[in-house]
Amino acid sequence: MTAAQEPAAGGALPAGGALRVMGAETEYGIHAPSAPSANATMMSARVVQAYAQVTRQRAAGGAETRWDYTDEEPLHDARGWTVDRGSAHPSQLTDQPPVLDAEAVALAYGREELELDGQDESGTLLMNMVLGNGARLYVDHAHPEYSSPEVTNPHDAVTWDAAGDLVALASVRRLSADPDLPPVNLYKNNTDNKSVSYGSHENYLMPRSVPFGDIVRGLTPFFVSRQILCGSGRVGIGQDASTPGYQISQRADFFEAEVGLETTIRRPIINTRDEPHSTADKYRRLHVIIGDANLSQVSNYLKFGTTAMVLSLIEAGLAPKIEVYEPVAALQTVSHDTSLTDTHRPLDGRRVTALDLQWMYHEAAAKLAQDTGVGDAVDGDGHTHDVLDRWATVLTQLDNDRAAAARSVEWVAKLSLLEGYRERDGLAWNDARLGLVDLQWADIRPEKGLYYRFLARNRVDRIVDDGAIAAAVGEPPPDTRAFFRGKCISSFGKDVVGASWDSVIFDVPGYGRLQRVPTREPLRGTKALTGALFERYREAGPFLAELLGHNRTPPAA
C-alpha cells in the first residue's frame, strides 16, 4: 500500500476490496515424546513461560504483561441474546484465565516442579502474555495459542501469523535446551487424528449495521468451497481418521452445525460469537472458526484475501444469491473429493462443483473491485488486484494443472509428497507411515518439518520473505492500534500491568490509581498517530502525562 493509498490517521479503509481489520489465532498441536502422559495444559504453560524467558533475554521489560479479561464477552450471540453462564460449556468461558493448580503440576512432573524457575510473583506459572509485536500468547484448551496483532490487509495477515510460528519455535528451542524439562514438539495442524481437533481461527471487522442473516447467507456457500484454496490436507477420513483416504481439509469432519456460538463442540460453519473488542455499536468482529492452520503462505494469503473480499460483497449487498443444500454435509463432501469433480445441489436445482462456487464469488468480487476502483493494478488499494489475480490463477490450476497448483495450495503440495511415498513403497492410505508424514509436514522446526523442506527446495511459493517475518516477531504492524499496544509493551513493559485488544493498563509511580488507556478504535493508535510520542519518551510517567493531557509531571497521588 503506497502512502497515497493509506487511510488517514484513524480513518476508514477503502471499501469494496481486500482491505479490512483482520487477524489470526493459531492453536498449536503439542507433544512431549519422552513424556507421553504429561499434562497438556502444563506443557502449554511451559511453552508460554519459555517464551517469557526468551523475551527477558532480549529486553529488560515487557515479558510478563498479563492479559486483561475485563471486556471479554464470549457468551453474547450475534442473533440477539446472551447464553446463560450456568448452561454454557466450560470451553466457552474464555473471559477467565486458565487455571493450573499445584496438583496438576505435581501429576505432570512431580512436586519439585513447583520450585523450578518460571513462576510469576504470585507463585503460579505464567499462562498468558502480551507481546511486543502486539500479539497474545497464552494457553487455550490445553494448547499454546498465538493470536496475531490486528492488521489491515492479507499480506500483513500472513506476515504476523508466520511470526507466531517463530515465537513458537523460540519456545521449543528454549525448552529443548533445559535438561530438567522434557522436550516439547509443536505442530501447526488441527487434529491429532484421534477424534480431537484444535482451532485455527480468523477475525474480521465489519460494520455493525450489516444484518447477521446476510452474513450467514453470503458466507455459507463460500466457506463450504473455500477449503479447495486453503485446506492444509489430512490423511484419514472421519473425526478419528478411521476410514482410509486423504482429504482436503483438516477441520471439515469436525463441523456439525450451520450456525452457532460454540467453538469446540457442535462446531458451526458460521460462528455467532458477538465480542467486538472495539466500539460495539459501530463494529462487529466476525469470528471464523472453519479454516485450517496454514504453513503455505499462498493458501494463507488467499484464505484472508478472498474472505475479506466476500465480506465486501456482503456489505454491498452483492454476494452471489446461492444456497447450498445441507451445507454441513456439502462441506465434508467437498473435503473428501480431491478430484474436485463432485457436484452439489443448491436450492435452485442446479448442480455445481466447489470450483464453480468459487468462480461465482470471484466474478462478483472482481466486478465490485472494478466498479469501486480498488482493484485497479495502478490506482487501486495496493492489495485487491493481487488477491483477485492469485485467486483466479489458483482456480484455473486446480481445474487444469494440478502439478502447478502444488506451488500455491497446501493440500495439493502435501498430497504430492504423500503420493510419492505411496508409489515408492506401495503404501495404502491406512498405512501408519503416511500418518507420520502428515504430522511431520506440520512440525514447526525447520530442520524437521517437511513443509520447510519444500520451502527450502523452492517447491512452494512465498508471499513474504524470512526477513520480514523475523522483523514481525518483535515489531507491531504500523497501521492499527496494535502499534500502540506493542510499543507500550516493548517501551514501558515494567509499568504495564495488563493489556487487551481494546485497552492498555499502566501502573506508574506518582499516579494514585491504575491508568487504563482505551483503544477501541482499531485504526487509531497507529505509528502515524503515536510514533513520535514513543520516540520522545523513555519513561512511562511523562509519556502518559502527554498522552492523557496532564501536566508534564504525573499528577499527585
Positions annotated as catalytic residues are: 140
**Cβ count near 2 (within 10 Å):** 8
- Ranges of H-type helices in 316-428: 327-336, 354-372, 384-400, 402-405, 410-425
Q: At 106, is the secondary structure helix, strand, or coil? A: helix
For 108-242, strand residue ranges (E) read 128-130, 136-140, 143-147, 185-187, 200-207, 234-237
Of 62, 28, 60, 73, whose CA–CA distance to 46 is shortest? 28
Nearest-CA neighbor of 62 among 125, 2, 129? Answer: 129
Q: Return d(Cα 424, Cα 389) in angstroms, integer.
A: 36
Answer whether 273's CB lies under 8 Å from 203's CB: no
DSSP per-residue codes, 424-435 = HHT--TT-HHHH
Cβ atoms of residues 468 and 162 within 8 Å: no
Residue 134 near residue 476, CB atoms below 8 Å:
yes
Q: How far is CA 554 from CA 496, 506, 508, in A?
A: 16, 13, 9
The CA distance from 328 to 253, in Å, is 9
CA dist 262 to 14, 63, 119, 346, 389, Å? 32, 32, 32, 26, 35
What pairing do the DSSP bridges indicate for beta strands 267-271 and 255-260? parallel
Contact 400, 412 (CB under 8 A): no
Instruction: Look at residues 26, 442, 498 and name the one whose alpha carbon lies nearest to residue 234.
Output: 442
Write phi, then psi, for 93 (nearest 5 degrees).
Answer: -85, 65
- Angle ∠(121,126,131) on CA atoms, nearest 5: 110
Is residue 27 within 8 A of residue 199, CB to CB? The reply is yes
Q: What is the CA radius of gyration of the chain?
A: 23
Residue type for position 346: P
Task: Check if the beta carbon of residue 225 is closer than 8 Å to that of residue 481.
Answer: no
Q: What gap in Å lies between CA 467 and CA 448, rounded to an integer?
A: 21
